[in-house]
Amino acid sequence: MIDEFTQLSDLQLDALREIGNIGAGNAATSLSMMINRRIEMSVPQLTVLPFSELPYAIGGPETLVVGVYLQVQGMSPCGILFLLPLESSLKLAEMLLAKPSGSLKVMGEMEHSALMELGNILAGSFLNALAMVTDLELFPSVPSLATDMSGAILSAAVFSLGEVGDHALLIETRFTEDNQQVVGHFLLIPEPGSLDVILERLGVNS
């Protein structure tokens, strides 16, 4: 049982990075098709953070972001969080709802629905790829959306990890457009027990 994310070997970290790569690659393709634009993705970053540093993990703790969060149940429970800068979420909502560029100033109910659906599709694409590689059955919850401080959103997404450990493992992939503008951060947050299951399926369980 991997109790602490700090005990992972290099081989295991590489395997998880590859999972992030395959999953986020699939999600980026879906996003690209939905908005009909080219989306670049970064190499997935694996970060193991003590809770005390977590609110500072993406942007600053008080940076205004939109977070779409899903809980994944099944053989390896985890959280999926899609974090977007506010400008990016407005822009994505414009594209999804076929509104003129620059016309949206605030996020309304329609915009929330559109982004939740986007989160749904991205999470589905990510999990499909993950399931394909690991043969695990995974069931995402309905998405939930919050517009608030990055720190508050991140901390709300990891609280269940606190029952067993003192660290969070974030598998983060950044989506950017051609012009380098950040579209969003896609995060997979495995729960400690589920990491064992994933690593075993990948044949790198110690």
Which positions touch another protein (CB under 8 A)?
Answer: 3, 50-56, 60-62, 64, 67, 69, 71, 141-142, 144-157, 159-160, 162-166
Q: Which is nearer to another protein, 26 or 71 (CB)?
A: 71
As beta bridge partners, residue 189 has: 79
Nearest to 177, CA basis, from 31, 68, 78, 61: 31
Q: Which is nearer to another protein, 97 or 162 (CB)?
A: 162
| Nearest-approach distance from CB 130 to another protein, in angstroms | 21
As beta bridge partners, residue 174 has: 185
Q: Which is nearer to another protein, 21 or 147 (CB)?
A: 147
| Nearest-approach distance from CB 36 to another protein, in angstroms | 29
Q: Which is nearer to another protein, 40 or 53 (CB)?
A: 53
| Nearest-approach distance from CB 8 to another protein, in angstroms | 18
| Nearest-approach distance from CB 109 to another protein, in angstroms | 14
* 3-state secondary structure string across 134-196: HCCCEEECCCEEEEEEHHHHHHHHHHHHHHCCCEEEEEEEEEEECCCCEEEEEEEEECHHHHH
**H or E stretch at 49:** strand 45-50
| Nearest-approach distance from CB 144 to another protein, in angstroms | 4
Which residue in the block uniquely carries the two structure tokens 């620059």?
A: 102
Q: Distance between CA atoms of 49 and 63, rounded to whole angstroms?
A: 19
Q: Which is nearer to another protein, 127 or 145 (CB)?
A: 145
